């Protein structure tokens, strides 16, 4: 499946894309590709929806730095 199909929020998909070192949110990934992700860390305050996080079955740590205005 494509990254953006699993993670519909564009900014969350971009975080996954960067974590997996993929070229685009249109890149194909398998459940096995997602297994190594144990840590997610981002500073993107545009993330509004983390739908798909359940596919990250080995995820142990999540940190989002939010920016205040």
Q: Domains in the chain: how many in total?
A: 1
- Residues 6 or more apart whose CB falls under 8 angstroms from that of 52 comprise 6, 7, 8, 12, 16
Q: How far is CA 12 from CA 21, 41, in A?
A: 14, 11
56 in a structural domain: yes
Query: How does residue 10 score in pLDDT terms, banded at 50, 70 and 90?
Result: very high
The pLDDT, as a whole number, for residue 64 is 83
pLDDT tens-digit readout, 34-68: 999 999 998 767 888 999 999 999 999 999 876 65
19 in a structural domain: yes
Of 29, 34, 21, give the one whose Cα is nearest residue 5: 29
69 in a structural domain: no
Q: What is the model's pTM?
A: 0.89
29 in a structural domain: yes
Contact between 22 and 29 under an 8 Å Cβ cutoff? The reply is yes
Measured CA to CA, the distance from residue 67 to residue 52 in angstroms comes to 23
18 in a structural domain: yes
The pLDDT, as a whole number, for residue 46 is 85
Boundaries of domain holding 40: 3-64
39 in a structural domain: yes
């Amino acid at each position: 499946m494509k990254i953006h199909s699993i993670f519909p929020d564009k900014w969350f998909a971009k975080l996954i894309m960067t974590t997996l070192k993929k070229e685009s949110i249109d890149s194909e990934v398998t459940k096995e590709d997602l297994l190594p992700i144990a840590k997610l860390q981002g500073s993107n305050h545009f993330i509004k929806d983390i739908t798909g996080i359940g596919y990250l079955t080995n995820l142990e740590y999540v940190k989002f730095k939010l920016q205040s205005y």
